Every structure is written in C-alpha cells, then in structure tokens.
C-alpha cells in the first residue's frame, strides 16, 4: 500500500462488487433506452471504466471537463474546459461522478445537460458525502456513503496525486501541504 495512506475506506474488491450491482441495476432501468454515460474528468475515469463493464445494454461514453467558479452558488456558472463531442438532444444521459460533495458541480452540470436538450439526466456516483451537501441535488445511484473526510484514490486526487490508487483511502496528516 502507498506509504502516504493512513487507512483504506473502500477496498478494490468492494468497489468491483458494488460496480457489478450498479451496472446490473442501470441495465435493468435502461433496458429499453440507449444511455449516454457522461464522465466528468478526471476523477470519474476509473469508476466509469469499472462500471461500464457491467452494463450489458447498448450505451455510449462521453467525457466532459468542467470547473466550478470558486464561491459559485448552486445555480452558478461552470467553466467548460472540454465539452461533449456529440449532441445529446432527446438522449437519456447518466452523469458519472467520483464524489458528490457540496453538490454544486453536479447541480450545474445537470442543468447544463438539460439546457442542451437531454430527455433525462441521472447521476451515478462512486461516493456520496451527504453531510456536506449544499446544492439541492441527489444522486440516483450511489456506490458508497462516506463520512465527512477528505478521500483519495480510485480517481480522487489531492493536488493531482493519488488518482492511481486502486482503493479509496484517507491520507496521512503529514502529507498535506501547508
């Protein structure tokens, strides 16, 4: 295990097991549809890769990179760093996210996708930090509820590091910069 990790919160095995369940559920819920999974870069890449292996209906992947302006309100703006490659007009979209924290990012992205003409927008997230919610948004599919702790791994970073860890964990205190 990485020397900077204090403890593992969600193991690789737990993530795989949960991705199987969520993939199965999404396949059932969308069996007569053709969902476009929109992964928000960069954090949701490992989860997207794991989850879609267990979705056994036809689907597409898309990628978006957005950054919320600091201090933005729940209805605030997001800066689009990388936009979708295709139109999602009349499509059933599922946003794939690493973690829902305040919920501001997802609230804004979800509204943005509706404004692009999506028929439906749902959210699947690996992690949910309910205690930190500010924006009025709920994920439709949740991998794991976690306490109000800063986590790293399986896509989640601290200062762009640790995204490659195969589990979700908590950093040792001495690894945080001043």
CA distances, 103 to each of 1, 5, 24, 59, 178 (Å)? 30, 26, 25, 26, 26
From the candidates 58, 65, 101, 136, give the one annotated as an active-site residue.
101
Q: Is 156 in the site for ligand IMP (CB under 6 A)?
A: yes
Q: Is 43 in the site for ligand IMP (CB under 6 A)?
A: yes
Q: Is 153 in the site for Mg ion (CB under 5 A)?
A: no
Within 102-131, which residues bind ligand IMP (CB under 6 A)? 102-105
**What is the DSSP track for the chain?**
--TTEEEEEE-HHHHHHHHHHHHHHHHHHTTTS--EEEEETTTTHHHHHHHHTT--S--EEEEEEEEEPTT--TT--EEEEE--SS--TT-EEEEEEEEESSSHHHHHHHHHHHHTT-SEEEEEEEEE-GGG--SS---SEEEEE--S---BBTTB-BTTB-TT-SSEEEE-GGGS--
Q: Is 23 in the site for Mg ion (CB under 5 A)?
A: no
Minimum distance, C-beta of residue 11 to ligand IMP, in the bound complex (Å): 17
Map residues 33-52 to x or -, x wherever contact with Mg ion holds by CB under 5 A: ----------x---------
Question: Could you give the dihedral angle defined by the CA atoms of residues 157, 11, 172 and 134, in that order, rounded to the nearest 10 degrees?
Answer: 50
The partner in contact with residue 124, picked from ligand IMP, Mg ion, none with C-beta cut-offs of 5 to 8 angstroms by kind, is none
Nearer to Mg ion, 23 or 43 (CB): 43
| 101 in catalytic set | yes
Nearer to Mg ion, 57 or 170 (CB): 170
Minimum distance, C-beta of residue 31 to ligand IMP, in the bound complex (Å): 29
Q: Is 99 in the site for ligand IMP (CB under 6 A)?
A: yes
Which residues lie near ligand IMP (CB under 6 A)? Answer: 43, 68, 97-105, 150-151, 156
Residues annotated as catalytic (active site), given as ranges: 101
Which residues lie near Mg ion (CB under 5 A)? Answer: 43
């Amino acid at each position: 295990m990485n020397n900077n990790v204090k403890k593992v919160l969600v193991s690789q095995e737990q993530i795989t097991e949960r991705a199987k369940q969520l993939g199965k559920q999404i396949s059932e819920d969308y069996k007569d549809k053709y969902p476009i999974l929109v992964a928000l870069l960069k954090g949701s890449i490992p989860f997207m890769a794991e989850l879609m292996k267990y979705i056994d209906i036809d689907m597409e992947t898309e990628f978006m990179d957005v950054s919320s302006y600091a201090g933005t309100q729940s209805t605030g703006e997001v800066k689009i760093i990388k936009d979708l490659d295709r139109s999602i007009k009349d499509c059933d979209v599922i946003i794939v996210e690493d973690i829902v924290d305040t919920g501001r990012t997802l609230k804004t992205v979800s509204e943005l996708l509706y404004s692009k003409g999506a028929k439906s927008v749902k959210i699947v997230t690996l992690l949910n930090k309910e205690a930190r919610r500010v924006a009025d948004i709920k994920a439709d599919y949740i991998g794991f509820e976690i306490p109000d702790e800063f986590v790293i791994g399986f896509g989640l970073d601290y200062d762009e590091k640790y995204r490659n860890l195969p589990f979700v964990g908590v950093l040792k205190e001495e690894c945080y910069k001043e």
